[in-house]
Structure 1
Amino acid sequence: MGGYRRFWDPDAERFPVPTWPWKLAPAHLKTRDQLVAMGLRPHQPITGQVMWNNKKLGVRRAYLYDVALAGPPKPRSPAQIASLQAARRKRRTCPTCGEVRAYTLSTALKECTTCADGQAVAA
């Protein structure tokens, strides 16, 4: 195992939760992103973690959750849905011409491509 021994602690003797090196965690434990990709959410406390060394960032970790305890995402309330729709609409509305575009505006341009190109038609 070499450098992997540093992070091998499935009994949580050295770390606060069971810990495994990168790619060596049990198959029934998944990260939050892996659960989301499966259409699930972790409605539970952290079950374990994987740890690894990154040359630039140092020691990294990802928390793990038991797939058997995960469930579907909680349904959104009508107010949450309305809020998300309003936020998405604002991200598509050009502040220069006021048009609601079919695409999200570039954060670099801060306006629609028509206005950024200088081709906006005077209203």
Structure 2
Amino acid sequence: MAARFWDPDGAQYGIPTFPWKLAPDGYATRRQLRADGLRPGGQDAIQIMWYSNRRRPSGAPPVLRFAYLYRRELAKPVRPMTPAKWAALAKANAARRVCPECRTDAGYCIPTSLGMCVTCAYPEEQRAA
């Protein structure tokens, strides 16, 4: 089954593709690069592909998964956060805490599943408590 994903020249999948654990040395995922303080820096990626049995219902076929890999020696350092970026991030996080119904700071990030604070979403339960 591993030979199915062997495409080092990218003829079948469009980019060089390798099976799980058979990628060339010197490549890393975005997370691995970030852990080392690096970023891909605009370079072309290769991919690894595999079938996974995780998170699938019983009897369902395996799920096709893939991950992009980037060369470590071509990676660039992560750009530092500027004061303007820090301010924008703080403003965005503060906006996630304000309930659109009652316009108050909930003290936590509003769940996207509710779209409002818990107090506004379940007023009956709040009166009983």
For normalisation by structure 2, the TM-score amounts to 0.68
In structure 2, give the amino acid aligned to 1:46.
D
Q: Are the counterparts in 2 of residues 92 and 102 from structure 1 also a CA contact under 8 Å?
A: yes
Q: Does 1:42 align with 2:40?
A: yes
Secondary structure of 1:104's partner? coil
In structure 1, give the amino acid aligned to 2:116.
E
What root-mean-square deviation, in Å, do the aligned CA atoms of Structure 1 and Structure 2 show?
Answer: 2.7
Q: 1:4 to 1:103 in 2, by over 3 A?
A: same
Among 71, 74, 86, the alignment partner of 1:69 is 74
Q: 1:114 to 1:13 in 2, by over 3 A?
A: closer
Whole-Å separation in 2 of the counterparts to 1:17 and 1:52: 15
Q: Does 1:7 align with 2:12?
A: no
Q: What percentage of residue pairs aligned between the two structures are identical?
A: 45
Deviations 1:15-41 (A, max 9, x none): 554321012213421122332344321
Q: 1:102 to 1:72 in 2, by over 3 A?
A: farther
Q: Give the CA deviation at 1:114.
A: 2.8
Q: Are the counterparts in 2 of residues 44 and 69 from structure 1 also a CA contact under 8 Å?
A: no
Unaligned residue ranges in structure 1 (runs of 5+): none
For normalisation by structure 1, the TM-score amounts to 0.71
Aligned residues: 116
